[in-house]
């Protein structure tokens, strides 16, 4: 994710003409050498949640928006950044002992373990594995909560022995991120006429999760992707930009450009669920991570996901040409988790599983 350009954001009318908003040129800061030279990047709109308007307009363009005045305390963001470095500094034996299993998708994810849920290249299982390691956490289901009897995806998190502060840091960060998501959904409900009570009910006992990520430095000739092209099967995803950059967004004409974000803002992108709820007005955009040279990168995307009972369908009249579909959250989330294992195949062809064409 690039830093703000020297000239700063510029002003431009929103898609509906309702207000004026800032936009930050994508690709400011580091731009990967393999991007098309001379190509004009789309603009990542910048919105201010104190104003609280224009969010729907912004998310209807490239599906990404930089949010200022987001209300997430700087101490929470700094605490998470420091935690990521300490978490992945533990020895490999410890990581192996506390790794994810097929039965419990919580814990350390081994380096280069995951490949795309659906092959995006040769189609024969030979796509290179992503060059990251991770730690998987989910919404902390209280002990004895009845939802854990309804769906196997719920349960307590696994906490590593080190860093000992991790549960406290994550709890504060998680609560702040949930608060931001709630505010965003309130704004979108007002702007788009979505049923606020339905949104609130959908986010009770959520399947919200995060993958804490570490992309180790690697050789320049290592061609494996940092994270393969994908879309998020979320309502929204919230990300604290990393100064190393590397997050790239696919434009509607098929080019890959780096997502820009001004200092102090958080990036928010539309997931498949919100795209469906909005009848295609808000865009779930393919994105990936590409890191050149010997850079090391850390990241903590917050994936806001409805509960297992939700079957996402359009809440308002779909736009012309939108491929109307439904997303049964419990089933699709279980399929995504299952097919993350390299030897598993999708049980059907109608679930997108975050893949891109």
Distance CA 22, CA 174 (A): 28
Residue 101 has pLDDT above 50, yes or no: yes
In terms of Cβ atoms closer than 10 Å to its own Cβ (0-12, 13-18, 19+), residue 38 is exposed
Indicate left, alpha or beta for 8 from its phi (over 0: left) and psi (-120 to 50: alpha). Answer: left
Residue 213 has pLDDT above 50, yes or no: yes
Distance CA 257, CA 332 (A): 29
Please give the biggest Cα pair distance in the chain.
57
- Identify whether the C-beta of residue 66 lies closer than 8 Å to the C-beta of residue 28: no
pLDDT for 255 equals 84
pLDDT for 40 equals 34
Residue 182 has pLDDT above 80, yes or no: yes
Which positions ≥6 away from 357 have C-beta within 8 Å?
none
Q: For the chain, which residues make up each domain, given as ranges?
A: 70-339
Q: Which residue has the higher pLDDT, 103 or 13?
A: 103
Residue 345 has pLDDT above 80, yes or no: no
pLDDT for 4 equals 29
**Architecture in CATH for domain 70-339:** Sandwich (2.60)
The mean-pLDDT minimum among 24-28, 89-93, 127-131, 301-305 falls in 24-28
Residue 348 has pLDDT above 80, yes or no: no
Q: Which residue has the higher pLDDT, 211 or 17?
A: 211
Summary mean pLDDT of the chain = 82
74-92 residue pLDDT tens: 999 999 999 999 999 999 9
Instruction: Write down the pTM of the prediction.
Output: 0.84
pLDDT for 113 equals 76
Integer angstrom CA distances of residue 61 from 40, 87, 192, 269, 315 = 15, 36, 15, 11, 20
pLDDT for 256 equals 87
Bridge partners, residue 210, by sequence: 137, 302
3-class state of residue 183 by DSSP = helix
**Among all chains, which residue has been given the structure tokens 């034996």?**
93
- Model confidence at 125, in pLDDT bands (50, 70, 90)? low
């Amino acid at each position: 994710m690039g830093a703000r350009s020297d000239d700063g954001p510029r002003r431009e009318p929103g898609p509906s003409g309702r207000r004026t908003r800032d936009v930050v040129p994508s690709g400011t800061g580091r731009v990967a050498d393999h991007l098309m030279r001379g190509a004009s990047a789309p603009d990542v709109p910048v919105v201010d949640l104190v104003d609280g308007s224009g969010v729907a307009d912004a998310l209807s363009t490239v599906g990404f928006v930089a949010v200022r005045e987001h209300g997430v305390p700087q101490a929470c963001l700094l605490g998470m950044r420091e935690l990521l470095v300490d978490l992945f500094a533990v020895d490999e034996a410890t990581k192996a002992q506390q790794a994810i299993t097929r039965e419990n998708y919580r814990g350390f994810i081994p380096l280069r373990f995951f490949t795309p849920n659906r092959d995006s290249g040769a189609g024969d299982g030979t796509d290179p594995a992503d060059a990251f390691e991770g730690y998987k956490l989910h919404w902390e289901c209280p002990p004895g909560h009845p939802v854990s009897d309804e769906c196997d995806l719920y349960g307590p998190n696994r906490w590593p022995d080190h860093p000992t502060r991790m549960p406290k840091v994550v709890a504060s960060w998680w609560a702040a991120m949930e608060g931001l998501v709630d505010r965003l959904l309130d704004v979108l409900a007002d702007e788009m006429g979505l049923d606020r009570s339905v949104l609130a009910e959908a986010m009770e006992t959520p399947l919200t999760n995060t993958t804490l990520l570490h992309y180790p430095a690697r050789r320049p000739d290592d061609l494996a992707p940092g994270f393969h092209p994908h879309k998020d099967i979320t309502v929204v995803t919230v990300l604290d930009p990393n100064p190393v950059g590397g997050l790239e967004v696919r434009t509607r004409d098929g080019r890959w450009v780096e997502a820009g974000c001004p200092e102090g803002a958080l990036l928010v992108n539309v997931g498949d669920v919100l795209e469906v709820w909005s009848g295609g007005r808000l865009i779930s955009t393919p994105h990936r991570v590409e890191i050149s040279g010997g850079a090391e990168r850390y990241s903590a995307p917050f994936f806001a996901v409805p509960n297992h009972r939700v079957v996402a369908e359009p809440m308002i009249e779909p736009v012309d040409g939108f491929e109307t579909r439904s997303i049964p959250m419990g089933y699709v989330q279980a399929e995504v988790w299952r097919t993350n294992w390299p030897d598993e195949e999708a049980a059907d062809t109608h679930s997108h599983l975050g893949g891109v064409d």
